[in-house]
A = this chain, B = another copy of it.
């Protein structure tokens, strides 16, 4: 810029004015500067400008794994909002390792990002407190942090489980299981909360074994339907049942990103949410802060929808034993066509 000024025979400030399109420069002067810029191949160093300005117009996005479909969709949602605002995004994966999360987050903060959207690991997040105080807007997505009041964008797992279970009950199921790995994880805990609520609302007793299923135990269980807490467990449940030739005896309901339904194939029911929507919601919370919102931390929940796609494979004998479905309970969306896959318990 100094060179440009020299070449054009003007002061540094004038070059700055031209580059930034500020008013108050004679067309002739401007042209002279523009010419020098062309000639010298000058391009402004935004990093330097941002150092002076204080703002970097950059946000960080930290998730479990950039390569994972669901986290990628989340990032995409964040990007859509950031793009509108002209913000750039630093992205990184934690691989669920708290140490990596901390290292990543702190190096982003050291670059003075304006905001951070983070899918938290299991670790504690005290290390972020001083950064947040220092003015880095922070939003947690997909999972809340432990012991930290902050803006959070979540999936409504409880509501999803309630809807799924109530729907199964409406179709005649009474013995319903949950398959989802670590019950202490945020997701499983929330889904089980919704499960319990829906079973209780229907006045159904719950055998503790039903919610402690494994793929193997599924085959020896008396459940007639099972809610799966992850993509992997849904796939496992289907495969286990198919291998045992018992696909038509147990209804499987998955929980996950929209593409899970597609992934699992035809004839499967999924409580599906939109990860990109979650990303947009998180970004909206973040930009509200950057726009000056200083109120208390907020939570937003992205709803899941019951999705059944494709054709249905059900044995006529099984169908014959199925009663006509009862009236759906109030909080259950009435499906246009009752799914015949869900036979009588």
CB <8 Å contact, B75 and A91? yes
CB within 8 A of A79: which of B45, B66, B111? B66
Verify B111–A47 contact, CB threshold 8 A: yes
> At the interface with chain B, which of A8-16, A102-110, A285-293, A322-330?
A102-110
User: Taking CB as reference atom, which chain B residue is nearest A78?
Assistant: B66
- Could you tell me the distance between the alpha carbons of A262 and B262 in the complex, rounded to whole angstroms? 11
The answer to whether A41 touches B88 (Cβ under 8 A) is: no
Report B-chain residues with C-beta under 8 Å of the C-beta of A29: none
CB <8 Å contact, A76 and B51: no
Q: Is A141 close to B, CB under 8 A?
A: no
A interface residues, Cβ below 8 angstroms from B: 41, 43-48, 50-51, 56, 65-69, 71-73, 75-77, 79, 83, 88-93, 107-112, 130-131, 133-134, 262-263, 265, 276
A and B contact pairs by CB, cutoff 8 A, 19 listed: A41-B134, A43-B130, A43-B131, A45-B51, A45-B110, A46-B110, A46-B112, A47-B56, A66-B75, A66-B79, A67-B72, A67-B77, A67-B276, A68-B72, A69-B69, A76-B93, A79-B91, A88-B92, A88-B108
B residues less than 8 Å from A265 (CB atoms): 265
A75 to B69, CA, bound (A): 12
- Pick the contact of A45 from B67, B76, B77, B112 — CB < 8 Å? B112
> How far, in Å, is A140 (CB) from chain B's closest CB?
20
| A90 pairs with B92, CB closer than 8 A | no
B79 touches A44 (CB 8 A): no
Q: Within 8 Å CB of A44, what residues of B? A: 110
Task: Indicate if the CB atoms of B76 and A67 lie closer than 8 Å.
Answer: yes
| Least CB separation from A61: chain B residue | B91
The answer for the CA separation of A110 and B56 in the assembled complex, in Å, is 12
When the two chains form the complex, which single residue of B51, B72, B91, B92 contacts A51, counting CB atoms closer than 8 Å?
A: B51
B72 and A66 contact, CB distance less than 8 A: yes
Closest 10 CB pairs of A and B: A67-B76, A72-B72, A46-B110, A91-B91, A67-B73, A66-B76, A46-B111, A69-B69, A67-B72, A66-B75
Contact status B91-A89, CB under 8 Å: yes
**A92 surroundings in chain B (CB, below 8 A):** 79, 83, 88-89
* Cβ A93 vs Cβ B67 within 8 A: no
Query: Which residues of chain B are within 8 angstroms of A71 by Cβ–Cβ distance?
Result: 72
Residue of B nearest to A91 (CB): B91
Residues of B within 8 A of A110 (CB): 43-46
> Across the interface, do A67 and B56 meet the contact criterion of CB distance under 8 Å?
no
Q: Whole-angstrom distance from the CB of A151 to the nearest CB of chain B?
A: 22
A266, chain B: closest CB distance, angstroms: 9
Name 14 extra pairs, CB < 8 A, besides A41-B130, A88-B90, A88-B92. Answer: A43-B109, A46-B107, A46-B110, A46-B111, A47-B47, A47-B112, A65-B76, A67-B73, A67-B76, A68-B72, A72-B72, A72-B75, A90-B91, A265-B265
